[in-house]
Amino acid sequence: MITASETKLPRISTALPGPKSQLVIDYDKKYMSPSYLRDYPFVAERGYGAIVEDPDGNAFLDFAAGIAVCSTGHCHPKVVEAIQKQAAELIHIAGNDFYHRHMPQLAERLVKTMPKPQDYRVFFGNSGTEAVEGAIKLARYATRRDKLIAFYGCFHGRTLGSLSLTASKNTQRKGFGTLLGGIEHIPYPYAYRCALGHTKETCGGEIIELLEQQIFKRLFAPEEVAAIIVEPIQGEGGFIPAPLFFLQELQRICNRHGIVLIVDEVQAGMGRTGKWWAYEHAGITPDIVLTAKGIASGMPISAFIAKESIMQWKPGAHGTTYGGNPVCIASALATMELIEGGLMANARKIGDYVFGKINDWPQRFKIVGDVRGKGLMIGVEFVRDQKTKEKAADLRDRVIDNAFHRGLLTLGSGENSIRLSPPLIIDEEQADCAIRILEESIREAEKNL
Ligand SMILES: Cc1ncc(COP(=O)(O)O)c(C=O)c1O
């Protein structure tokens, strides 16, 4: 329910950034690490639904959702109520040392999303990267092997283990010295740029061949490989979906060689693609599923869900102080109820609606090379020339900036793509508004070509 002072659509009434926003930006510069990216000067003050307001009273339609975190929108009343109620009862106890009912409650809820719920166990952490770290450790522990296979373009986090798997942008790795050894990166199937001219359905066969015929024969014997880790849809890398057969092939290889298949659903999961998990579209059964971001509408919690046959480590082998905190769990339970109660279906419905309206952008705009994704995980790739597919990061940045000045928040992804990852609550009117703003923003960027 929107109150009189609130809005469903953008409302910009100052130059951007406004004077109060500018004060926050200056304040931030004095104290904060310069490593934060901040591609454009948006300052958040309060949020409701799919809208975030800045301190100057400008209202923005949020198609970034805090990097796909605010799945139920900003401050959904049911999530706020669950957090407030739990905060008044028990904030922290350390699930590492003591039992509390919230952990098995959320674990039960999570395993119910898996193909055979009784076969899985759950470990909670605080962030995506912590889920990745835990999964690496578990895969190594369970297999007593240490090699890992990951993909170019994939992003798995910024702590040293997950960073070693991340191969997205060299700025994320540069300057940090030697990372974890025993990791081989292989190409990710990127249909729009497939060297062999394959389609979105068929791209990637040669990568499977590379893995089996080259990597396994010349670098690592498969029986040395602990895990293959893959994003079913690359998030940070450009919102690039892997063809379904490709994920099925990875599963076949893992099954054949006793390799653990880790699917990183930190960005793509939690109903965003119209199913709980993006891997479900391929009908596979991963050994470990990683989740964070959208699971708790903004409260920091992550989980890895692993087959019981794999999660056989000894007490003390892995742990954490805050992971599975009761307040975060209350938020996650409320979030999952909302996702199951309609938001997952809405992601599918509005996603199809948006694709129906923007699929032809490459025909209508000469700087749009590709539109791709699933549900409300939509990527738009910008090029200088549709024939050569020359990447146009500058035009992408201009479109993002133009959209910001019209009241739409988006984020870049990959070298030259925009990611659209709104809260799963958006309706057709909000989708239409975002599409109109983006079309105007693209047209404006094209004018200056
Ligand atoms: C697919 C994926 N894995 C892992 C991470 C790391 O998550 P966090 O930033 O919560 O550590 C991210 C973050 O963007 C991600 O997109």
Written as six digits, the tokens of 91 are 């904030």
pLDDT average, residue stretch 147-152: 98
Closest CA to 328 of 290, 296, 305: 296
Alpha carbon nearest to ligand 1 atom 9, residue: 128
Q: How far is the CA of 238 from the centre of ligand 1 (A)?
A: 14
pLDDT average, residue stretch 315-326: 97
CA-to-CA distance for 146 and 223, rounded, in angstroms?
10
Query: 99-127, pLDDT tens digit by residue?
Result: 999 999 999 999 999 989 999 999 999 99
Give the residue, out of 293, 328, 377, with the most ligand 1 atoms within 8 A of its beta carbon, to mutate for a pocket test: 293
What CA–CA distances, in Å, run from 305 to 107, 161, 164, 287, 329? 8, 19, 21, 8, 15
3 state DSSP class of 83? helix
Closest CA to 372 of 207, 156, 189, 208: 189
Query: 331-341, pLDDT tens digit by residue?
Result: 999 999 999 99
**Which atom of ligand 1 is least distant from the CA of 264?**
1
Query: 364-417, pLDDT tens digit by residue?
Result: 999 999 999 999 999 999 999 999 999 999 999 999 999 999 999 999 999 999
DSSP for 353-365 reads HHHHHHTTHHHH-
**Main-chain dihedrals φ then ψ at residue 189, nearest 5 degrees:** -70, 115
CA-to-CA distance for 128 and 346, rounded, in angstroms?
25
**Which atom of ligand 1 is least distant from the CA of 268?**
1
Query: 216-226, pLDDT tens digit by residue?
Result: 999 999 999 99
> Are residues 78 and 423 in contact, defined by beta-carbon separation less than 8 angstroms?
no
Q: How far is the CA of 150 from the centre of ligand 1 (A)?
A: 15
- CA 290 to chain centroid, in Å, comes to 11
Positive or negative, the Cα torsion across 6, 8, 12, 18?
A: positive
Q: 147-151 and 225-230 as β-strands: parallel, antiparallel, unpaired?
A: parallel
pLDDT surpasses 90 at 51? yes
pLDDT average, residue stretch 412-434: 98
In which residue are the tokens 């032809």 written? 360
pLDDT category at 1 given cuts 50, 70, 90 is low
What CA–CA distances, in Å, run from 141 to 134, 226, 233, 317? 10, 9, 27, 9
pLDDT at residue number 448? 74
Give the residue, out of 129, 169, 233, with the most ligand 1 atoms within 8 A of its beta carbon, to mutate for a pocket test: 129
C-alpha angle with apex 74: 72 to 77, nearest 5 degrees? 75
pLDDT at residue number 197? 84
pTM: predicted TM-score of the whole model, two decimal places: 0.97
pLDDT at residue number 298? 98
Average pLDDT, the chain: 97
Torsion of CA 188, 189, 190, 194, to 10 degrees: 120
Query: 163-193, pLDDT tens digit by residue?
Result: 999 999 999 999 999 999 999 999 999 999 9
pLDDT surpasses 80 at 2? no
Written as six digits, the tokens of 281 are 């579209």
Q: How far is the CA of 232 from the centre of ligand 1 (A)?
A: 13
Contacts of 44 (CB under 8 A, 6+ apart): 52, 53, 54
pLDDT surpasses 70 at 241? yes
DSSP for 357-399 reads HHTTHHHH-TTEEEEEEETTEEEEEEEEETTTTEE-HHHHHHH
Q: 233-234 and 225-230 as β-strands: parallel, antiparallel, unpaired?
A: unpaired
pLDDT category at 355 given cuts 50, 70, 90 is very high
CA-to-CA distance for 317 and 138, rounded, in angstroms?
9
**Which atom of ligand 1 is least distant from the CA of 132?**
4
What number of residues does the chain have?
449
Site residues for ligand 1, CB cut-off 6 Å: 67, 127-129, 132, 155-157, 231, 235-236, 264, 266-267, 292
pLDDT surpasses 80 at 420? yes
pLDDT surpasses 80 at 4? no
**Which atom of ligand 1 is least distant from the CA of 159?**
11
- Helix and strand numbers (H, E) in the chain are 13, 18
